[in-house]
Amino acid sequence: MIKMTTPIVEMDGDEMTRVLWQLIKDKLILPFVDLKTEYYDLGLQHRNKTKDQVTIDSAHATQKYGVAVKCATITPNKQRMEEYPELMEMWKSPNATIRSILDGTVFRAPITLDCIKPTVRTWEKPITIARHAYGDVYKAAELLTDEPGECTLVFKGKSGKEQQVPVHKADSPAVWLAQHNTDNSIRSFARSCFRYAIDTNQDLWFSTKDTISKVYDGHFKTIFDEEFESFRADFDRIGKEYFYTLIDDAVARVVRSKGGFIWACKNYDGDVMSDMISSAFGSLAMMTSVLVSPDGKYEYEAAHGTVTRHYYRYKEGEKTSTNPIATIFAWTGALRKRGELDNLPELSAFAEKLENASLDTMRQGIMTADLTGLTENDFKTKQVNSWEFIDEIAKRLK
C-alpha cells in the first residue's frame, strides 16, 4: 500500500460524474494507495444547503494543502431551478468561484491515441489551451430593464475621482451586461502562461479582439507585452516564440497548424476553444485540465460536464457507456503532483502506471461508446460500459 503524508483536497460533484468518481476511487485508487483527502461535497444540493460556503471552503483548503482534485459539478440555470425546486438561488459556477479565489490559469490539453486521428488532418501534436480563470462574463453584472432609457457606466475611485462613459440610449426595453477584470489577475495569467510555455518547451500564442474592444481587450494585450519582457531571454534560450494575434486570425492559424503549442485565451474564449480542441482531437472526455495559481497551487479536474443524459439513464437502471478517462486523469494529475511536492516517488509512479493502464486498455480496442466510432477503419474495437471499462483498467493496473 502506497503511503501519503499530506492530504489532497477532494471536491465531489454531481450526476454521472459523481457515480464514476466513487467507482474510480473504489476500483483504481483505494486498493493501491492509502488515500488521504480532505473531502468537500460540491454536489448541488449540498452547495445549496451551505449557501455555497462549501465551495469557498474547498478553495481555501486548496490554498492550504496545495493540491486538489475536483469532480464535475452543476451550474444551475433556469431549467435546473425547475428541476431542483429546493434551490434557494441560482448559485454561481463552482469553477468560477474556485478560480477567482486561487487567481490561477487553467491549462487544458487533449489525451491522444494513435488509433484516433484528429478531425483536422494537419494536427500532429496536442494543442494546449491556457484559459484565464477570472472575470469577464463569469463575474459580470447583468440588468434587465422594462422601459426606454439611458445607461451609463460609472466608476468612483478610492481617491474620490469619478469616471463615467455613456453605454447606450435605448428606445425600448433592453438587457445590459457589465464585465470587469483586474490588472493583478491579467498579470498573473500572463506570467503563468509564459512560465508554463518555458517549462513545457512550447510556443505561446495569445489572442483577443483588440480591434473591436480597444480598451478592454487592448489592455490584456498591453499587459502581456509588458510581462513578456521578463521572459524574453528564456524564450530565446529555448528557441520558442511568443506572439499575439486576433482571435479570428488565431482560429484560422490553429486549423492550419501542426499543433504542439499553447494557445492562451480570455476566460470565455478558453472555455469554448478547449471544447472545440478536445472534440476535434476525439472526445470531451479525453482532455486534461489543471488550474495553476501564481503561487503554485494546483486543482485538477475533468474539462467536461456532469453527463446529465447518461445519469438519468443510469437512474433507470442502465449501465451506461460513459467515458471516465478525463476524471481518471484528474486523479492521476493530483496524485502525481502530491508525490512531487511531498517527495513520494512511489505515489508519482503509481499515477503514471494508472495512466498507462488506462491508455493501454484503449490501445487494445476496449473503449466506451464515445470513442468506438472515432477509430481508424481497420482498428478493431470492443464497446463496453463504464463498469466493464474500469474493471479492464484495474486488471492491467494490477
377 has pLDDT over 80? no
What is the CB-side half-sphere exposure of residue 27 using CA atoms within 13 A? Answer: 22
Taking 80 as the threshold, does the pLDDT of residue 107 lie above it?
yes
* pLDDT band at 373; cut points 50, 70, 90: confident
pTM beyond 0.75: the answer is yes
Per the listing, cell 505515489 goes with 347
Which segments of the chain belong to CATH 3.40.718.10?
1-113+295-358
Confidence band for 391, pLDDT divided at 50, 70 and 90: very high
Task: Report d(CA 19, CA 17) in Å as an integer.
Answer: 5
Cα separation values, 326 from 145, 173, 175, 305, 330, Å = 42, 44, 37, 11, 6
pLDDT tens digits for range 139-166: 899 999 999 999 999 999 999 999 999 9
In the structure, how many helices (H) and strands (E) does the chain have?
15, 16
Q: How far apart are CA 131 and CA 264, in angstroms?
A: 6
Q: Which one, of 46, 22, 49, 48, lies nearest residue 35 by Cα?
A: 22
Secondary structure (DSSP) of 85-122: TT-SS-PPPHHHHHHHHHT-EEEEEE---TTS--SSTT
pLDDT band at 138 (very low <50, low <70, confident <90, very high): confident
| Beta strand ranges found along the chain (DSSP E) | 8-12, 37-41, 67-70, 105-110, 128-132, 141-145, 149-156, 162-170, 174-178, 203-208, 242-246, 261-265, 287-292, 298-302, 366-367, 382-383
pLDDT at 129 over 80: yes
Q: Is the pLDDT reported for residue 293 higher than 90?
A: no
The C-alpha atoms of residue 140 and residue 117 are separated, in whole angstroms, by 39
The three cell numbers of residue 270 are 478558453
- At 292 the pLDDT is 86
Q: Where in the chain is the domain with CATH 3.90.190?
A: 117-137+182-281
Q: What are phi and psi of 164, to 5 degrees?
A: -150, 150
Which spans in 239-324 are helix H? 247-256, 267-281, 308-315
Band of residue 100 on the pLDDT scale cut at 50, 70, 90: confident
pLDDT at 211 over 80: yes
For residues 25-38, average pLDDT: 98
pLDDT score recorded for residue 279 = 83
SS3 355: helix
Pairwise pLDDT comparison (17 vs 103), residue with the higher score: 17
Residue (of 205, 333, 175, 359) closest to 270 by Cα position? 205
What pLDDT was estimated at residue 275? 84
Over the chain, what is the mean pLDDT? Answer: 94
Q: Which residue has the higher pLDDT, 118 or 38?
A: 38
d(CA 10, CA 80): 24
Return the residue matching grid coordinates 491522444.
Answer: 112
The grid coordinates of residue 307 equal 453527463
Architecture of domain 117-137+182-281: Alpha-Beta Complex (3.90)
pLDDT of residue 58: 98
1-113+295-358: CATH, from 3.40.1190.20, 3.40.718.10, 3.30.1490.100, 3.40.720.10: 3.40.718.10
Please state the rounded mean pLDDT for residues 37-51.
Answer: 96
pLDDT at 99: 86
Confidence grade of residue 248 (pLDDT, cut at 50, 70, 90): very high
Cβ atoms of 168 and 174 within 8 Å: the answer is: yes
Q: In the prediction, which pLDDT does 77 show?
A: 87
Residue pair 61/40 in contact by the 8 Å Cβ criterion: yes
Cell numbers 467515458: residue: 323
Return the percentage of the chain with pLDDT > 90, whole number: 82
229 to 196, 224, 294, 330: CA distances (angstroms): 16, 9, 18, 33
Confidence band (pLDDT; 50, 70, 90) for 295? confident
pLDDT of residue 175: 98
What does the pLDDT average to over 29-38? 98
